Structure 1
């Protein structure tokens, strides 16, 4: 039953969105906002249904993955972690899509910097959530920090994911704090967003990859000396 949960939730979300859209008296609403948060494209209100449809596709993909994982031991060992990550993605997209849906259906011609602050905080929270799961993921070729070094050594995999988890939680939390500070002091929303993303990429992605390479090089030297 768990494998159907995300698809069911996405269908319920789509139905609720459809009701909300149908109740709106507006027929033509903003569909796109430029970098300054000003509406520059309009369309029928039903165009917003593309957003809940993305969640339905995600639910279908997870359902297919679950059926495949049940027949492959390598996938099955990380299935519960995949489920948690998909849950995080679902919550992320639901918050993001509903915010955009309300803005569009209300007919607002200006979004301002609020969207960038919310997106920064949501991405930070998602990365924090996923990073907390990272150290628990068992070595595999489809999920986690996959480099030649981590895939060649289980020890390097474990140590790298432990470090990546710590750094990811810290940088994710910093992104949430940046969003709050940006909102309070009315900082440039795009600067806050890209600054937070840049920080996360360097700290939680690049550093663990470098660390993995260093660990693997040391491990190879140790093995050669032992021989």
Structure 2
């Protein structure tokens, strides 16, 4: 993560934590902590639990900072610093937004959680898809299967396809968010899981085809 991305992520994390801490004295003892698939509150918790939510962005920020140092292929991160930095900012922003929802709901704001989660996920998928083709082989970031990690060409082809697929799925999230059904989020998640499974299968097929091609050339 570059310095600019780190500063932006740190400011979002600090703003989230400070907002939650300052809001605790003015909130009721019990606040919404979990929402069902229909967007209705199905679990309440102590307002002091908001402090834990406020710390989550910091924990994630530290993790995202450490990952490049722990990865055996840490040099790859020097080649895709831009995409990794953008991804980190988007993820920190998403977690910060999720952490604020209970407080906003307790203040009386009418929040359509499934809609907001779907739109936020669509943004993550769209951004990730646009930069996925620039991710270099590594063990912790990207589409990591035994076959993409074994072959750089399979890694490159799988991520290029994954980029197109994630952008397409981001539009699925947007479209289904406005469907007149309570299962719109489940439909979107189902499409995402199918797309991910397809990429895993594609990486295997691509790797095997290349391996067989090399074997034939040797013969």
Q: Same fold (TM over 0.5)?
A: yes
Most deviating of 31-40 and 144-153? 31-40
Matched, 1:160 2:158: yes
What corresponds to 2:194 in structure 1? 202
What corresponds to 2:145 in structure 1? 147
Distance 1:105 1:155, change over 3 A: same
Q: Distance in 2 between matches of 1:129 and 1:54?
A: 22
Could you tell me which of 145, 168, 172 is aligned with 1:174?
A: 172
Q: Distance in 1 between matches of 2:171 and 2:92?
A: 19
Matched, 1:131 2:129: yes
Matched, 1:87 2:79: no
What corresponds to 2:102 in structure 1? 100
What corresponds to 1:48 in structure 2? 50
Q: Distance in 2 between matches of 1:174 and 1:150?
A: 26
| 1:173 Cα offset (Å) | 1.4
Distance 1:148 1:72, change over 3 A: closer
- Aligned-residue RMSD, C-alpha: 2.7
Q: Distance in 1 between matches of 2:150 and 2:42?
A: 50
Task: Compute the TM-score of the two structures, normalised by the length of structure 1.
Answer: 0.81
| 1:134 Cα offset (Å) | 1.0
Give secondary structure in 1 for the equivalent of 2:139.
coil
Q: Distance in 1 between matches of 2:70 and 2:201?
A: 33
CA contact (8 A) 2:16 2:100 kept: no
Matched, 1:14 2:5: no
CA contact (8 A) 1:3 1:66 kept: no
CA contact (8 A) 2:137 2:152 kept: yes
Give secondary structure in 1 for the equivalent of 2:32.
strand
- Gaps (5+ residues) in structure 2? none
Give secondary structure in 2 for the equivalent of 1:106.
coil
| 1:208 Cα offset (Å) | 1.7
CA deviation vs aligned residue, 1:121-176 (integer Å, no higher than 9, x gap): 22122112112211110122221111222122211111111111101100111111
Q: Distance in 2 between matches of 1:10 and 1:58?
A: 10
Number of aligned residues: 214
CA contact (8 A) 1:3 1:63 kept: no
